[in-house]
Amino acid sequence: MAEQQNDKRGAGKVQPVPEQDFSDYAGLMVIVEQRAGVAKKVSWQLLGEAKRMADKINAPVYALVMGHNVRHLADEAISRGADKVYLCDSPVLEQYRTRPYSRVSLDVIRTYKPEIVLVGATYTGRDLAGAIATHLPTGLTADCTQLDVDENRVLHASRPAFSEKMLATILCKQYKPQMATARPGVFLELAADSTRKGEVVSVSSPMSEAEVVTEVLDFLELTDRINMEDHEVIVAGGKGLGNAEGFKLLQELADALGGVVGASRAVVDMKWIDHDHQVGQTGSTVRAKLYFAIGISGAVQHVVGMQNCDVIVAINNDPEAPIFKVSHYGIVGDLYNVVPAIIKAVKEKRGLPFAANTANG
Amino acid sequence: MHIVVCVKQVPDSREIRIDPNTNTLVRQGVPAIVNYYDLHGLEEALRFKDEQGAEVTVISMGPPSADKALKQCVSMGADRAILISDRAFAGADTLATSYVVSKTVEKVAQEFGPVDVVFCGKQTLDGDTGQVGPGVACRLDYEQLTYVEKVVEINDQAKTITVHRHLEDGVEVVKTKMPVLITALSELNKPRRASLPGVINASRYKPIVWTTNDFADLDRAKIGLKGSPTIVSKTWVPEPRKIDTKMIASGEAAAIASELVAALWSTELPTRLGW
Ligand SMILES: Cc1cc2nc3c(=O)[nH]c(=O)nc-3n(C[C@H](O)[C@H](O)[C@H](O)COP(=O)(O)OP(=O)(O)OC[C@H]3O[C@@H](n4cnc5c(N)ncnc54)[C@H](O)[C@@H]3O)c2cc1C
Ligand SMILES: Nc1ncnc2c1ncn2[C@@H]1O[C@H](COP(=O)(O)O)[C@@H](O)[C@H]1O
């Protein structure tokens, strides 16, 4: 089980695998991602999806929690649907680095043999999953937006292909575990339930600090770097705004609704707003409760990123704009005429104060 | 200092259409380009070459027509280009691709000198996984630094490298030892245009071509379709979600606004959002 440790750099070179019998692999495992003891939402979203699939095939759900001082995340994982949590709490895991994290993951996967392993398709998740799958070795499907499991316990991992124009379902039948990374904001988490019972199994890190050559010197938190997936109300603007100034108006509407400003790629390309705000194929996939698309035509690459929002409102002066086809409420009109009126109406309804100088008031 | 840049020739996916009658991809007339992110890896290698001197080898696994992509890299300033091309490589997924690419880097190191840095792109436009980079790093047992938006320092004496990694919530400053594999983001730099002498040089340049027979120890079970654990079981064009759009009558802005607000407040939204 344990790997050859003849290489001091860590996970070591990928070893050739003999023909393997995978019949003792069972259960679904989610690798929980965290920073400074706070779990990324996608981890719980994947646990929710894993639980749904596990119920279908009557299999257990596992979580793998790695970090330093992260015991509370093991409990949280149980409350979010895990039956068993493998917990590796070690100073060497204080910050994410590929080798120590992949070594722990490999040990746990090889020892406890989950049949399916899911990882969030974040920067860190993709870094880790790529390394683990190569070492195991096994197949890895990237960036999934739909997951399912059939009666033969084969994972059907579906992902967009060719600029989101198509979806492709990918299988990995001959190797175990079957692995996939899945996009944040697509799957539904279970509500935390502290009465759920589960087991926590502690595992140790096979690597010590002295063996790790990579150092994280600093983390520059960008507070203005916004995570669109985290927000419940998004007021998105497109080229129809006409200029970067237009976002001030949208910000005012977002403030009135307790939300944040989003954008189409067209306006990000013109540098009216930062890329972090971009929704769509090459931006974020969001599942907000309320989404405004203002001056956005509704190109398929934008729509794929927002079509799963609960309530969608489109404002566009072109009655033929495709965005109306995916919207619950459509308003045909000039945004500079309509939006200030909506801001006013929302503020009145919510009893919010009016700014002295409302844009285009 | 020897830098290897991994590039892939890809169809410009923006140009790919779906035939509405057959629901299949229309690939005819779609131009082949050098994968966008790979050019950012190349540019970073060339910058280092300009500033401190380095040898830059570009490698690509693909069909014979991919030599065009390699020539483009030579026109920009790469010193050497290698095309790894063989029918046996066809149908490779990321696991099989990273195996062949890593074997190529090993062979490049044997024949042309030890490799210090390998650049890959963040991801390809067609495969779109970002998995080949980590796969190559693991197989070579190099350190891996993915999603790099800035190279802060390359110290050729100490053989260390410091970069900024892009994360969802900030920037991580990471230092590691060479040899290292870096995956490049577009924020890294702006790829140069080829100079006229570069274009002339490239037009005469013939990329080195390696087939399976050129490798002493290539495991045939790990290449191409056979070496690929994943299979595409089906592809389809997603159905748009069916929605009954309620159009709010045009008229006075104030009337539209109050109608919208009334509609929103008749749903569960205000409770769910705590308005
Ligand atoms: C590979 C690839 C990836 C892509 N990824 C993304 C992505 O992630 N996200 C994304 O958004 N796009 C993406 N795109 C781009 C996408 O195809 C569209 O070009 C883009 O979404 C258009 O942005 P827009 O709707 O703001 O602009 P436009 O299409 O120009 O639409 C502007 C709209 O505003 C309306 N309008 C104008 N003036 C007013 C006014 N005064 N009041 C009200 N309405 C007005 C117009 O009628 C029009 O419908 C991608 C494209 C490619 C090729
Ligand atoms: N066939 C190939 N030949 C050379 N490099 C490749 C090949 N495929 C992928 N790569 C490299 O790996 C990166 C990530 O590719 P992918 O995992 O397909 O998204 C690319 O940007 C390239 O740098």
pLDDT score of A44: 97
pLDDT score of A221: 85
Q: In Å, how far from its chain's centre is CA B209?
A: 21
Contacts of B174 in chain A (CB under 8 A): 214-217
Mean pLDDT of chain A: 92
pLDDT score of A356: 54
Nearest CA in chain A to B219: A16
* Domains present along chain A, CATH in parentheses: 24-211 (3.40.50.620), 228-352 (3.40.50.1220)
SS3 B266: coil
Residue B238 burial (CB count, 10 A)? 16
The answer to whether B220 touches B96, Cβ cutoff 8 Å, is no
Nearest CA in chain A to B159: A213
Q: How would you class A135 by CB atoms within 10 Å of its CB: exposed for 0-12, middle for 13-18, buried for 19 or more?
A: buried
Question: What is the distance in angstroms between the Cα of A325 and the nearest Cα belonging to chain B?
Answer: 7
Q: What are phi and psi of B214, to 5 degrees?
A: -80, -10
64-83 of A, contacting B, C-beta below 8 A: none
Class for the domain spanning B2-222: alpha beta
Beta bridge partners of B177: B160
Q: Is the pLDDT of residue A361 over 70?
A: no
pLDDT in tens, B157-215: 999 999 999 998 899 999 999 999 999 999 899 999 999 999 999 999 999 999 999 99
pLDDT score of B46: 98
Is the minimum CB–CB distance between A327 and chain B shorter than 8 Å?
yes
Task: Supply the ipTM of this predicted assembly.
Answer: 0.86
Q: In Å, how far from its chain's centre is CA B194?
A: 20
Pocket test of ligand 2: the residue of B3, B8, B102 to mutate, having most ligand atoms within 8 Å of its CB, is B8
Average pLDDT estimate for B258-275: 92
Half-sphere exposure of B249 (CA within 13 A, CB side): 5
Which among B136, B41, B36 is positioned nearest to B84, based on CA atoms? Answer: B136
Q: What is the pTM of this model?
A: 0.84
Domains of chain B, by residue range, sit at: 2-222, 243-275
Strands (E), B48-111: 55-61, 80-84
Which among B141, B168, B269 has the least Cβ separation from residue A9? Answer: B141
Average pLDDT estimate for A274-295: 91
Nearest CA in chain B to A99: B143
pLDDT score of A353: 87
Half-sphere exposure of B265 (CA within 13 A, CB side): 14
Pocket test of ligand 1: the residue of A296, A306, A315, A326 to mutate, having most ligand atoms within 8 Å of its CB, is A296
pLDDT in tens, A317-327: 999 999 999 99
Q: Which ligand is nearest to the CA of A277?
A: 1
pLDDT score of A7: 43
Helix (H) / strand (E) element for B182: namely strand B180-184
Instruction: Indicate which residue's Cα is closest to atom 21 of ligand 2.
Output: B121
Which among A272, A274, A326 is positioned nearest to A304, based on CA atoms? Answer: A326
Higher-scoring residue by pLDDT: A187, B250:
A187
The answer to whether A276 touches A225, Cβ cutoff 8 Å, is yes
What are the Cα distances from residue A10, in Å, to A57, A167, B101, B115? 36, 37, 22, 20
Is the minimum CB–CB distance between A124 and chain B shorter than 8 Å?
yes
Distance A113 CA to ligand 2 centre (A): 30
Residues A73 and A71: their CA atoms lie apart, in Å, by: 5
**Both structure tokens of A60:** 């257990």
Contacts of B176 in chain A (CB under 8 A): 213-215
Q: Does A331 contact B141 at a Cβ distance shorter than 8 Å?
A: no
Contacts of A13 in chain B (CB under 8 A): 139-141
pLDDT in tens, A190-201: 999 999 999 999
In sign, the C-alpha dihedral spanning B82, B88, B91, B94 is: negative
Residues B119 and B145: their CA atoms lie apart, in Å, by: 10
Q: Is the pLDDT of residue A347 over 70?
A: yes
Average pLDDT estimate for B214-236: 93
Distance B246 CA to ligand 1 centre (A): 22
Nearest CA in chain A to B95: A134
